[in-house]
Chains A and B, each alone.
Chain A
Amino acid sequence: MNGLFGHVKQNDEHSTEQETPQQDHSNDSEPENEQHDISTASEPLEAQVDESEVKRYSVGIDLGTTHCVLSYVELNDDEDEEVTQQVMAIPQLTSPGVVEDKKQLPSFLYLAHEAEIAEGSITLPWTATPEHLVGDIARNLGSKTPIRLVASAKSWLCHAGVDCKEPILPSEAPEEVDRVSPFEATKAYLQHMKQAWENQHPNAPLDQQDLIITVPASFDPAARELTAEAANAIGLNQALLLEEPQSALYSWIDNSLGDWRNHVKVGDVILVIDVGGGTTDLSLIAVTEQEGNLELTRVAVGDHILLGGDNMDLALAYTIKAKMEKETGNRLEAWQIQALTHACRDAKEKIFNDPEADNVALVVPSRGSSLMGGTLRTELTREEVDRVLVEGFLPEVAASEHPVSRPRSGLRSKGLPYAQDAGITRHLAGFLAKQQSAVEDLEHVELPENATFLHPTAILLNGGVLKSEVLSNRLLKVLNSWLVEEQAPEARLLEGADLDLAVAKGAAYYGMVRKGNGVRIKGGTAASYYVGVESAMPAVPGMPPEVEALCIAPFGMEEGTSETLPEDEFGLVIGEPVRFRFFASNTRREDQVGMRLDYWTDEELQELDEIEITLPEEGRKAGEVVPVHLSAAVTEVGTLELHAVSQQDGHRWKIEFDVRAGEE
């Protein structure tokens, strides 16, 4: 996410290295401790200089909702030498006793029962007793025992109303299963990749490499903080965050081998559409010019949309399930639907890839050893694929049609807030309309007067789902129909992207960009942030007190910068937790620190989880009231940090994001 916050002051290599390890995400709020950290941070650096023969790499980790990928590139002092980027094969158990190398590590964690695993059958190349079962084995075992499977931990990190450090997953697990927290699961995936790396590169410990971890552009500050904290918890204190759509663009730039300047021009607005397994992530990046050089600025990001390839496979499977149940009159069991989902995934690819194949046989084999008795057969037809996937997920809608959102029913089970509207094109239309003014401040980008939405001129696709030409062509067709409607030129597709691995590759490339080898995407924070304060009005009985939103961090705050509230002060009570309502806006670009909004629409400001601060007693009396200022800073890592600063002696206390105690 570093790129998100764009240009840091152009440091030379060494100062960047020195600064990164000091980012301490422990809960220490004492300024003395932070000072202390700075002094210790230089020690590993010195040790590293001594071993000059040790190779150094830039490592990028795509910590995906369904898959993780690690890519790396060797950092050479010799600039002329060709650098080759590689994707690390990650050894992982695929079933008990079997270890395979795969480029992707499925982001699943399985909480095995002790009776399930034979002794010595979960050995990995680096340990005989891994703490958690992650990767392919977790997905395979979990497909038959879902009550013990942790999936989509990443989506929980960005889910309001739960405490991500509480053991809550799997949410459907019975009492006796020892659950894990989404944070713990994230840590386990990172830990597995760290150990795999160190097994293959014994001379290059991962904590001494440049490390970039990608996060969705739509991740809120708390989710970013949790991701950085998970890396810190396994000793990767130097990890930086990068937004996934930006990473995809970096990968495209890297793939073009310097030719990218011929494919984009000043005034272009690049729309990055990333449809992954579990989420859809949208970003807009404008191409501008500074002293004759092309510059890239990320101007807007979309909301967090839980909608992806897995939803498509499920939708198809349930369509076929309904058809089979109608044909045979028997209800399908859970394991049959599971098998059907698998079969549908493969059959869909066949239909997409082969224009001749109008129907593909689907077979659900029986579970027992007799293959011929209980095996069910049906067909998946092109018509069904078109209806369910193409029309269902990418409907041809007008640019003015925005996602439908029904009010959630009061008795919502405690699950993930999946997108209610499956129409990706409607989400896209909503995003472009909402961000219509995103490029107003840019010199070189102009939008026609009559435009009702922001006109992108180029499109970069990412994510496995869009590998299918049927789907990507449809997406382009719908978008271009909107542009043609407003007499705008059609957007062109930026070719040459590697849709599965681009995010990890781009992250590793970004490590090189940070060394000054390549163009950097500017941007800053993708939102402005507010705390809710009660307005100074006499209380009206029976009415909740009016709340005003006080801006504490403006839009586009760059990494390494900080802002303090000039006048407003809060009285905090020592020893008592104080909570603030917390809001973000990805459209209000003008608000400055200290501005108070007394009215806003739901569109403009999104309420995030409350933030909390507890002043420790240390040297003060409990119950004493301390007047403080609020201060917001964006760290080099790319996380937002809020502090309360004492008026009296300049003491600082960190404000926690991740206090989602589930008291919704």
Chain B
Amino acid sequence: MPTTLDLWHVYLVAAVLVLALILIIVLLSMVIGMARRANKAPVEVVKTVEVPSEPEIKIVEKIVEVEKIVQAPAPEPIVLKESTPDAALQLLGLLQKEARFIDFIKEDVSAYGDADIGIAARVVHEGCNKAINEYFTLETVRKDQEGSQVTLAEGFNASEVRLTGNIVGKAPFTGTLVHKGWKVTNIRLPKLTAGHDASIVAAAEVEL
């Protein structure tokens, strides 16, 4: 190790730095060149994206992922979350099982009097209540009494509280609580086996 720092050493350090810089630039230009070439390649992929009516959506998703890896600086594509049908079907199945929900909705109510509908409504209400309580934990968003005045501080969660009416000015906002809101804090949906067809929300029943 040199104990003194003379001009020679300073010169050496500078040379190393310059060489390193040149190397980086060369590498970068190579990468960008490759990326551009790669950009021209996925014409076929775009074609499949243009035919969205085809049901093979999953394949498209996979190709998009590959594209991302290659093309580093592209802007984030806007992705709208698509709900998986299984959970929705499962919930329908549970409501049908516990509360005869589909039976009730599919029935022609106009043919019956209020008394008959009332009896059926009990089945649906009791069952729905049981199912919802069993599989979800629900809380109100706001603990205040409905109809009372509430003040929303700056930075309040806009997805938890929706403003309506005369929205002007800046936070804090003061207004009347019209609906206290509901929030699911826990979901305990049953697990499904791999072979389970969730689209059968109620199996037909044949008594032997």
**Does B142 make an interface contact (CB < 8 A)?**
no
Tell me the bound Cα distance from A97 to B196 in angstroms. Answer: 5
**Does A375 make an interface contact (CB < 8 A)?**
yes
Of A2-10, A113-121, A391-399, the stretch lying at the interface with chain B is A113-121
Of B28-36, B38-46, B64-72, B187-195, the stretch lying at the interface with chain A is B187-195
Q: B-facing mask of A360-372, CB < 8 A → 1, else 0? A: 0101010101111
**Does B50 make an interface contact (CB < 8 A)?**
no
What's the minimum C-beta distance from B75 to chain A, rounded to whole angstroms? 42
Q: Quick check: A99 and B193 within 8 Å, CB to CB?
A: yes
What's the minimum C-beta distance from A384 to chain B, rounded to whole angstroms? 19
**Does A95 make an interface contact (CB < 8 A)?**
yes
**Does B106 make an interface contact (CB < 8 A)?**
yes
Given contacts A118-B195, A363-B119, A367-B205, contact A372 B107 (CB under 8 A): yes
Q: A-facing mask of B169-208, CB < 8 A → 1, else 0? A: 0000000000000000000101111111100001001000
Q: Quick check: A121 and B195 within 8 Å, CB to CB?
A: yes
For B123, give its contact among A94, A97, A99, A371 (CB under 8 Å). Answer: A371
Q: Quick check: A100 and B190 within 8 Å, CB to CB?
A: yes
Chain A 366-413 interface residues, beta-carbon cutoff 8 Å to B: 367, 369-372, 375, 377
For A98, give its contact among B109, B123, B191 (CB under 8 Å). Answer: B191
**Central interface residue in A95, A98, A361, by most chain B CB within 10 Å:** A98
The binding surface of chain A is classed by DSSP as loop
For B104, give its contact among A99, A122, A361, A371 (CB under 8 Å). Answer: A371
Q: Quick check: A120 and B116 within 8 Å, CB to CB?
A: no
Q: Determine the residue in chain B with the shortest Cβ distance to A369.
A: B103
Contacts of B124 in A (CB 8 A): 371
State which size class the interface on A falls in. 20 to 34
Q: Determine the residue in chain A with the shortest Cβ distance to B102.
A: A369
For A94, give its contact among B120, B122, B190, B197 (CB under 8 Å). Answer: B190
Contacts of B109 in A (CB 8 A): 372
Q: B-facing mask of A88-116, CB < 8 A → 1, else 0? A: 00010011111111000000000000000
Given contacts A118-B195, A120-B194, A122-B193, contact A375 B107 (CB under 8 A): no
Tell me the bound Cα distance from A118 to B103 in angstroms. Answer: 24
For B196, give its contact among A98, A101, A346, A369 (CB under 8 Å). Answer: A98
Given contacts A99-B190, A365-B100, contact A372 B196 (CB under 8 A): no
For B192, give its contact among A97, A346, A361, A371 (CB under 8 Å). Answer: A97
Tell me the bound Cα distance from A405 to B7 in angstroms. Answer: 115
Contacts of B117 in A (CB 8 A): 372
Q: Quick check: B100 and A371 within 8 Å, CB to CB?
A: yes
What's the minimum C-beta distance from A87 to chain B, rounded to whole angstroms? 15
Given contacts A371-B100, A371-B123, A372-B107, contact A119 B195 (CB under 8 A): yes
What's the minimum C-beta distance from B113 to chain A, rounded to whole angstroms? 9
Contacts of A101 in B (CB 8 A): 188
Q: Quick check: A98 and B103 within 8 Å, CB to CB?
A: no
Tell me the bound Cα distance from A120 to B196 in angstroms. Answer: 7
What's the minimum C-beta distance from A141 to chain B, rounded to whole angstroms? 12
Given contacts A95-B97, A119-B195, A363-B122, contact A372 B190 (CB under 8 A): no
**Does A123 make an interface contact (CB < 8 A)?**
yes
Q: Determine the residue in chain B with the shortest Cβ distance to A99.
A: B191
Q: Quick check: B104 and A97 within 8 Å, CB to CB?
A: no
Contacts of B107 in A (CB 8 A): 369-372
Closest 5 CB pairs of A and B: A120-B195, A97-B196, A123-B193, A100-B190, A99-B191
* Chain A interface (Cβ < 8 Å from any Cβ of B): 91, 94-101, 118-123, 125, 144, 346, 361, 363, 365, 367, 369-372, 375, 377
Task: Give 13 A-B pairs besides A98-B193, A144-B205 with Cβ atoms closer than 8 angstroms.
Answer: A91-B191, A94-B190, A97-B196, A97-B197, A98-B190, A98-B192, A99-B190, A123-B194, A361-B119, A371-B100, A372-B117, A372-B119, A375-B123
* Chain B interface (Cβ < 8 Å from any Cβ of A): 97, 100, 103-104, 106-107, 109, 111-112, 116-117, 119-120, 122-124, 126, 188, 190-197, 202, 205
Can you give 26 contacting A-B residue pairs, CB < 8 Å? A95-B97, A98-B191, A100-B188, A100-B190, A100-B191, A118-B197, A120-B193, A123-B195, A125-B191, A144-B205, A346-B126, A361-B119, A361-B122, A363-B126, A365-B120, A369-B202, A370-B103, A370-B107, A371-B104, A371-B120, A372-B112, A372-B117, A375-B116, A375-B120, A377-B119, A377-B122
